[in-house]
Amino acid sequence: MAGGPIMHRRGERGWGARRRRWQPMSDINVTPFVDVMLVLLIVFMVTAPLLTVGVQVDLPKAKAPIIPDPVEPLVISVRADGGIFIEDAQVDIDTLVPKLRAITDNKPDTRIYVRGDQRLQYGTIMQIMGQVNVAGFTRVALITEMPDLVRQPGGSEPGAGQPANQ
């Protein structure tokens, strides 16, 4: 039969075949999302301890309990060579109080932690705490490092750089 119409079976392309409509896929592939979240979690876990305080200070150890404080305190660090820092900015002893007042907007109830190297003389730390106290700041505490043998209440591990009771 030459020149006649070509017949197709159902399912094959041709006159009797149905066209499939394009339908959007309603399932969401969450695997790439989970992968990205795990990478971000690892990045934050590695970088978070590095972001606490930038000045390296060898803290003395103490067995005092941790003071819970929901508000981020202002930290004054004193290195072994006598360098004084407010957070990461180095200041002189003469400009310490004016800069504290400027940073805290002259609010005397601001929590201030003093981190002093254990090789410093006691008088140096007391001089700085005295100036801060005379300036009207009453919530001043020392930060010490918890000894390795002391466990915190509730079974948690001791943390470095925790504030001790005054």
Domains recognised in the chain with CATH numbers: 55-163 (3.30.420.270)
From CA 25, how far away is CA 28, in angstroms rounded?
8
Which strands form 74-78's sheet, in the order they lie side by side?
A: 89-91, 84-86, 74-78, 112-116, 140-144, 162-163
pTM of the model: 0.51
Beta strands in the chain (DSSP E): 74-78, 84-86, 89-91, 112-116, 140-144, 162-163
Segment 81-140, tens digit of pLDDT: 888 998 888 898 888 888 888 888 878 888 888 888 888 888 888 888 888 888 888 888
